[in-house]
Amino acid sequence: MNMDVFCYFVVIFTLTNIGDVIAETKNTTFCNSLLREYNDTDTINDVVDVGITLTEALLLVICFGVFTFILAKTYNLLRVKVFMDKDNLDTDFDAGGEVSVGLTATTIVSQWTWAATLLQSSTVAAKYGISGPFWYASGATIQIILFAMLSIQLKIRSPGAKTFLQVIQARFGKKVHVVFCFFALMTNVIVTAMLMLGAAAVMTTLVENLSLELAAMIIVAVVGGYTFIGGLGATFYVSYFNTTLIFIIILIFVMKIYNEPDVEDNPLGTPDKVYNLLNCAIGPEDNKDNSYLTFLSRGGLMFGVINVVGNFGTVFVDQSYWQSSVAAKPRQGVWGFITGGLTWFAIPFTFATTMGLAYVALSTANGEELLTEREINEGLVPPTVAYTLMGKVGAILMTLMILMAVTSTGSAEVIAVASILVYDLYQIHWRPYRAVDDTRSCLLCGKHRDRADNIDNQCECYSMSQCKRCWIDDSDRASSKAAVLPTFKCPMHGPYRTYLEVLIGKKNWCIFWVAILIIPLTLLLQAAQVSLGWVYLFMGVVIGSSVVPIALTVFWTRLNGKAAVIGTVGGTLCGLTAWLVTASTFDGGLRSGVFLANTGQELSMLNGNIVAILTGAILTVAVSLATNHHMTDEQKEEEWEKTRDIDNPLLPWADRYASEIGHHDSTRLSNRPELKLVEKTFKVAKIAAIVSAVLLTVILIIIWPASMIAVNVMNATEFNIWVGVSQGWAWIGAVFIISVPIITEVYTIVKQVIRNRDNQDGEQKLNKDRCLSQYTQTNQACMYDNEEINKTAF
């Protein structure tokens, strides 16, 4: 058995030819009579003319739009009437950093559910059999689970950071920052490209007479509208709705394919029927016994490796996941990522085990493939199964599902690009608020914070949450009906708040243009004949190299900027070289007619991906060790002080997490808890994150698949168990993701309502009201309890 496993891994790197998918069937008496039966009853519908009309499609989109709008309004109403924090600037960007476990999990599930999650996972099921869905699911779940470690580490070492690029800038300076901005933007472009390729292929297939241009425009309109209506806050609510609907539709398909025995016109309906057809189908050549029912699939395993590498890139380098981490409370973030990852597992695993295998079964029953190989690579397996089995209803369900998957991820990507353009490029490089090079000095007053050598030149700024002048500004602006709102008059925070308003304006324009630019991108890719499957396998070659440098940015003190850049750029170059060299060994080499086919071969992609991530890691570590010989304790400490300097001067992180960390007098910008105290506070959460992430990763990509090798080719009972596991997982995931967020959210709202009624919300509100009424009577700001603050403010 050990030897078997070994040979199996060796074989991957030596064989070069990939078996094609052919709907041939095994020539046994049982299979012959089974297929004759299917041919006689002719249960497979003629599939062409059950499409959705254009009017119906538009109606569907409009209904979805209206519903989203209502959800967003509800959210805003809750913020204004119940939580009364609409004016807090931070809510716009990260929902105040107070998002609960359930909602964090929901956001992650919906962001991580790409069009590819549904389409590509079914493609690999159709190509490699039962191992495809598993590899897709496990190879993309572990990154989310491992991200829990990064999430808590970020909260410890850089609690004020909003993007991972800020951390890179604080540690390594502006030049390194630009390099990583480039990689981050590239990741967003690749992910967006995949969304559009998948969604456009499905929409143009299912909707009659829908041109690619119109499909792209419809999708962009939905994504853009959703982003504008939402802002990040409402996105949490809409994500919840999306995820719920996706799970419900998956379960409908599961019921149809595996749990509908004794229905006349359903050719499938029980695991046994599916099993018999799969067992009669002749699978890819390099699968054990040419069977779809085995884990011993060379293609499947190769895909598994590529999938693991590629998805590390799209999680770790994609700003939108860091965004979810920033938005969550520190401890909640950890469990949000872990439960989110485990819930998400069910989406590709169950969906592809259902739809992808149903496709193989239907093709077998049909006597010939329902799709060409190119159509399979475009992601058309699930829609084909949906309308073959369920006609128009199936087509509508599939369209809805794809719309759900595209809108939340698409909007997260658009926001991520806009944030990088505005908060990283514009704010840091082009038009900074204050041109300071060291992160130590206060952004508001330019003086030193903390660690100051000169006491006279110490910053005395404090959090906006305590600033009475800002309350007056807010109330003036809230009551103003003028087209141009009154200017901010607070001498301490006013100018910076004005600057932020400019940034928000820029960001809105960025969102608009980025969304529009998606249309030409889609048309360009389509003209280049690139398929979803190709881009999916390719992503790791380009961005894989930056994964390790980025992870080490929050973990390793000795990492330096030079090493990070050499690792990232060098890794990508090596990856591209390995990819092209492997592709050139196939028939026709890199000539234009066969370029996409040869570079798209699993082996080319596998080599490119592995070389990219490994050289990225090796170069980064080696250069760091070689150039950063010795660091004194002070230097080590200073390295993380730099990242702790990153802060929002209006609401410093020390103030935001004051109750969690147990730190007093945290409203002053110059006073923040020591790193040791923060570390101690989150020590348990950090250990829990590391232990569960590593453990689950080992189970998902080593123990489970290794034990499947022992199963060899599945028999009917084993297949029943396998399908049972996939269904059970989907049911548990659905119950969790549908019930937990709504329960915690309702609980929080009820608690807040009770608190509002009892007016226990504390002195602050009381003070605020008193202060404001005094101001209206005397037209003079109220006196402060604190002399010193008074001096600074006026």
Which residue shows structure tokens 């760091």? Answer: 624
- The contacts of residue 77 (CB under 8 Å, 6+ apart) are none
What is the full DSSP assignment across 408-436?
A: HHHHHHHHHHHHIIIIIIIIIIIS-SS--
> Burial code of 173-196, b = ≥16 C-beta within 10 A, e = fewer?
eeebbbbbbebbbbbbbbbbbbbb
CA distance 143 to 311: 7
Q: Rounded CA gap, 362 and 384, in Å? A: 10
The separation between CA 759 and the C-alpha centre of its own chain, rounded to angstroms, equals: 39
CB of 657 to Zn ion, least distance (A): 20
Distances (CA, A) of 607 to 17, 312, 540: 15, 16, 10
- Find the shortest distance in angstroms from Cβ 83 to Zn ion: 21
Task: Kindly state the smallest distance separating residue 458's Cβ from Zn ion, in Å.
Answer: 9
* Contacts with 444 (C-beta within 8 Å, 6 or more apart), sequence order: 459, 461, 492, 493, 496, 649, 669
Residue in the shown chain whose Cβ atom is closest to Zn ion: 442
Complex with Zn ion: residue 215 or 470, whichever CB lies closer: 470
Which CB atom, from 275 or from 471, has the smaller least distance to Zn ion? 471
Nearer Cβ to Zn ion, position 254 or 669? 669
Q: How far is the CB of 85 from Zn ion (least distance, A)?
A: 16
Do residues 47 and 368 touch, judged by C-beta distance below 8 A? no
In the bound state with Zn ion, the residue whose beta carbon lies nearer, of 503 and 694, is 503
Residues 744, 354 contacting (CB under 8 angstroms): no
Contact 300, 12 (CB under 8 A): no
When the beta carbons of 431 and 434 are compared against Zn ion, the nearer one is 434
Q: How far is the CB of 775 from Zn ion (least distance, A)?
A: 14
Smaller CB separation from Zn ion, 442 or 610: 442
Q: How far apart are CA 142 and CA 698, in angstroms?
A: 9
> Quick check: 241 and 400 in contact, CB under 8 A?
no
One-letter amino acid for residue 659 of the chain: S
Concatenate the DSSP letters of all residues of 325-362 into one string: HHHB-HHHHHHHHHHHHHHHHHHHHHHHHHHHHHHHHH
CB of 489 to Zn ion, least distance (A): 9
- Smallest distance from the beta carbon of 120 to Zn ion, in angstroms? 50
Task: Report which residue type is found at 499.
Answer: Y
Nearer residue to Zn ion within complex by CB, 422 or 472: 472
CA pair distance 571, 561, nearest whole angstrom:
15
Token pair, residue 308, equals 């693991």
Our CB check for Zn ion shows the closer of 372 and 457 to be 457
Token code pair at residue 430:
């082009």
Give me the residue label for tokens 């890179």. 168
Interior angle at CA 360, CA 207 and CA 190, nearest 5: 55
Q: Residue 347 or residue 461: which is nearer to Zn ion going by CB?
A: 461
Q: Which CB atom, from 459 or from 734, has the smaller least distance to Zn ion?
A: 459
Six token digits for residue 613:
């991530």
| C-beta of residue 326 within 8 angstroms of C-beta of residue 94 | yes
Which positions touch Zn ion (CB under 5 A)?
A: 442, 444-445, 459, 461, 467, 469-470, 490, 492-493
Q: How far is the CB of 445 from Zn ion (least distance, A)?
A: 3
Angle at 324 between CA 321 and CA 329, to 5 degrees: 140
Rank residues 469 and 642 by Cβ distance to Zn ion and give the closer one. Answer: 469
* Residue 52 φ then ψ, to 5°: -90, 145
- Cα 472 to chain centroid distance, Å, stands at 39
For residues 31 and 444, which CB has a smaller minimum distance to Zn ion in the complex? 444
Grouping H, G, I as helix, E, B as strand and the rest as coil, residue 769 is helix
C-beta of 278 vs 789, nearer to Zn ion: 789
